[in-house]
Amino acid sequence: MTVERRPLIAGNWKMNGLAADGLALARALAAAPEGAADLLVCPPATLLAPVASILSGSPVALGAQDCHAREAGAHTGDLSAEMLADAGCAYVIAGHSERRAAHGESDAAVGAKAAAAHRAGLVAIVCVGETAAERDAGEAEAVVAASLLGSLPDSARPGNTVVAYEPVWAIGTGRTPTVDEVAAVHAALRAALGDRGAGMRILYGGSVKPDNAGALLAPCDVDGALVGGASLSAADFLAIAGAA
């Protein structure tokens, strides 16, 4: 049986965007005609509330880039999934490789964040990806499948979880795996998901640009993209969405 998975094109603005640029970008996306893909933007936390009001009534969804596992408490500087939902988010990224590397987030910590997202009614975008050394050693598929299974809480379902395959060496570098390599990893992730796999969206991320999006999004197990740098340009982001 073939399961329809509508593509999702998600923009991760990372630590970019002051109000002037970020709100203009959000306005441009909110005004764009609806296409074949679902659109999501994940601005920095400072812009969540104003971007939420710009996107309200548009088909573009709002997400955050990280959350704490707890609901509230003495965690200076952190934001709970409930706070993000309260600010208008429908999604939150969990376990982006930049957070895994710079903040020491383990698979278990990522799983706790994804569980927190589910508790708050958010869709968790759970990120996994291999290093260049792991790929060179022929371990990419095994490494990402194990990382995914270690990062998914029991509460993960196709309706509340999106997987993002992001090779660490492809993020922000302009380098990408071949289409065959992407297809092989996505098929391995789909298989690792077992019963949950058929309906769960698996995005590719890492140097997705308008000129490579059509090829990278073509394999049947690729259900969209997580876009960093190119999501800071409305034209580029919408061109990627148009290729989905």
Enzyme catalytic residues: 96, 166
Q: Where are the alpha helices (DSSP H) in the chain?
A: 19-31, 48-55, 81-86, 97-102, 107-119, 132-136, 140-151, 179-193, 210-216, 234-243
Beta bridge partners of 229: none
User: Please, what is the minimum distance in Å from the beta carbon of residue 238 to ligand PGA?
Assistant: 15
- Cβ pair 51, 25 in contact under 8 A: no
Exposure string over 227-237, b if 16+ CB within 10 A, otherwise e: bbbbbbebebb
Q: State which residue, 67 or 82, has the beta carbon closest to ligand PGA.
A: 67
User: Please, what is the minimum distance in Å from the beta carbon of residue 72 to ligand PGA?
Assistant: 28
Per rule CB under 6 A, count of chain residues that contact ligand PGA? 13
Using CA atoms, how far apart are residues 232 and 46, in angstroms rounded to an integer?
16
**Residue that has been written with the tokens 């679902």 in this structure:** 38
Site string for ligand PGA, 10-39 (x = CB under 6 A): --x---------------------------
Site string for ligand PGA, 97-136 (x = CB under 6 A): ----------------------------------------
Q: State which residue, 100 or 118, has the beta carbon closest to ligand PGA.
A: 100
Using CA atoms, how far apart are residues 27 and 99, in angstroms rounded to an integer?
28
Burial bucket for residue 25 (CB in 10 Å: 0-12, 13-18, 19+): buried
Q: What are phi and psi of 99, to 5 degrees?
A: -80, -40
Q: State which residue, 121 or 174, has the beta carbon closest to ligand PGA.
A: 174
User: Please, what is the minimum distance in Å from the beta carbon of residue 107 to ligand PGA?
Assistant: 18
Interaction residues for ligand PGA, span 219-238 (CB under 6 A): 226-230
Binder of ligand PGA out of 82, 130, 141, 166 (CB under 6 A): 166
Q: State which residue, 82 or 92, has the beta carbon closest to ligand PGA.
A: 92
Interaction residues for ligand PGA, span 193-222 (CB under 6 A): 205-208
User: Please, what is the minimum distance in Å from the beta carbon of residue 219 to ligand PGA?
Assistant: 18
Interaction residues for ligand PGA, span 173-192 (CB under 6 A): none
Binder of ligand PGA out of 46, 172, 191, 214 (CB under 6 A): 172
User: Please, what is the minimum distance in Å from the beta carbon of residue 234 to ligand PGA?
Assistant: 15
Exposure string over 99-115, b if 16+ CB within 10 A, otherwise e: bbeeeebebebbbbbbb
- Cβ pair 164, 185 in contact under 8 A: no
The residue ranges that bind ligand PGA (CB under 6 A) are 12, 166, 171-172, 205-208, 226-230
